[in-house]
Copies of this chain bind each other. A is one copy, B any other.
């Protein structure tokens, strides 16, 4: 059923001579077929097609683009067990996770479809004219957000569906009116081809232009870097490592025409448990913490890599008792597993190994590790502030509120921070909340960071180095604004204005007219 070919708009293509082998991380065994690494000429075709497609796709109505997104969801559903089986074989993740992630992918597509059908997202603003104003008449000025152009997307290894081919970056770019050239993650090429083919089927069925979506295959950085450099590419979405994201950011900054790079590079997501709550709920929180650390074998951007507490012996004893019951699992690929092993080795040099979970069987199996140190140890060792992607976490035992605040002040940018406490405690630690708010995209009270809602208010972003652009989110409907820019029209005849800006408001959207929000 799989061809191993690149998808260049409505065609498939295998010009190249380099084969890429998919591997089952649970067994180490190869999975067929061989995938063809894209050539530069294939990339060029994909981008040129995207550029051509943009000429019409940019003007498609919200309803028409929504039909496309909904059709993508339908086509993905129609893949049925074929998709789930390939997902499990390639990722080492269990079927339940595959099902859950498929559900999130489908609801994400449908959420964006509804969002653009409703249509108010374009931020239509109308300043009506004043022909009699002295000394000069005031013109009619109307603004709205318009799509940027073709977008390059690099999918994540750790969400083979929800942050991959038809994931958050792709869906928000398509919703905005931008064609997508997608660089498949080499860790799940079969899953990628299945979903890519579903997108093409949906595009054909709903009358989208050839080139609205392409999928290119690369196992290294050569073709991906060329994608970032291509003059017709107007923005980049990326989810992955700091190294990968920063390299793409640097490449884009050196383009003759710089473009925005939205790289979500993960973080250690500090968790603070305030003393009274730790005392009262320590046992339950220990279990929940370990659950969050080991969820998805720790392979989440929101994995809680840092736990900050005021030293509490019972909590430490609980952790020592509970960690061995926590099981590791199969990591996504050999590279990630090797990086995890290297990361925990480095942590072992700077922190105490507090407790260790169970190592399961499997080619890329990894076990949970909990480290501990004190405030001085954390402050002095830069390595301990770096993300280790996998089921490990570091407990920092502080001596005082003062140390906790100092530690918070020293943190760099993260996707999330969590604080556990009663309302009374939280009020007493309002200064901690103030510091953390400046470090993260999402401030969480009384919950661990894993589990990201796909909604309107979600911010899955944060200051550098969590992302390369703190002014955006890669999850939730706000993500659409990454791929647009405001354009204003001065004294444009009504008949030539986009529907969103026509005086009669034919789309019945919310607009700001002379400073007032109204329909």
A interface, CB within 8 angstroms of B: 55, 59, 115, 118, 120, 125-127, 136, 138-139, 141-143, 146, 148-149, 249-250, 253, 257-258, 260, 413, 423, 426-427, 430, 433-434, 437-438, 440-447, 451, 453, 455-459, 461, 463-465, 468-473, 478, 484-493, 495-496, 510, 512, 514-515, 517
Complex Cα gap A488–B416 (Å): 9
* Minimum distance in angstroms from A234 CB to a CB of chain B: 9
Cβ contact of A146, chosen from B125, B437, B490, cutoff 8 A: B437
Cβ contact of A453, chosen from B55, B127, B473, cutoff 8 A: B127
Instruction: Judge whether B470 and A485 touch: CB under 8 Å.
Output: yes
Instruction: Judge whether B250 and A456 touch: CB under 8 Å.
Output: no
Instruction: Judge whether B260 and A471 touch: CB under 8 Å.
Output: yes
Specify which chain B residues have a CB less than 8 angstroms from the CB of A496 in the assembled complex: 423, 426-427, 430, 433
Give the number of copies in the complex.
2
* Minimum distance in angstroms from A499 CB to a CB of chain B: 15
Q: Across the A-B interface, give the 3 residue pairs with the lowest CB-CB distance, nearest first.
A: A253-B253, A459-B488, A143-B457
* Minimum distance in angstroms from A147 CB to a CB of chain B: 9
Specify which chain B residues have a CB less than 8 angstroms from the CB of A125 in the assembled complex: 456-457, 478
Sample 23 A-B pairs with CB under 8 A, ordered by A number.
A115-B515, A118-B515, A125-B456, A127-B453, A127-B457, A127-B458, A141-B457, A143-B458, A143-B478, A148-B471, A257-B463, A257-B464, A260-B469, A443-B488, A445-B489, A445-B490, A445-B491, A446-B491, A447-B490, A456-B515, A457-B488, A471-B485, A510-B517
Instruction: Judge whether A486 and B441 touch: CB under 8 Å.
Output: yes
Instruction: Judge whether A443 and B489 touch: CB under 8 Å.
Output: yes
* Minimum distance in angstroms from A189 CB to a CB of chain B: 30
Q: A120-B517, A127-B456 are contacts. A139–B447 as well, Cβ < 8 Å? A: yes
Residue of B nearest to A492 (CB): B445
Instruction: Judge whether B493 and A457 touch: CB under 8 Å.
Output: no
Complex Cα gap A472–B456 (Å): 22
Specify which chain B residues have a CB less than 8 angstroms from the CB of A514 in the assembled complex: 456
Instruction: Judge whether B141 and A465 touch: CB under 8 Å.
Output: no
Complex Cα gap A465–B438 (Å): 32
Specify which chain B residues have a CB less than 8 angstroms from the CB of A115 in the assembled complex: 515
Complex Cα gap A438–B148 (Å): 8
Complex Cα gap A185–B175 (Å): 43
Complex Cα gap A514–B484 (Å): 23
Specify which chain B residues have a CB less than 8 angstroms from the CB of A120 in the assembled complex: 517
* Minimum distance in angstroms from A319 CB to a CB of chain B: 24
Specify which chain B residues have a CB less than 8 angstroms from the CB of A463 in the assembled complex: 257, 485
Instruction: Judge whether B465 and A257 touch: CB under 8 Å.
Output: yes
Instruction: Judge whether B443 and A487 touch: CB under 8 Å.
Output: yes
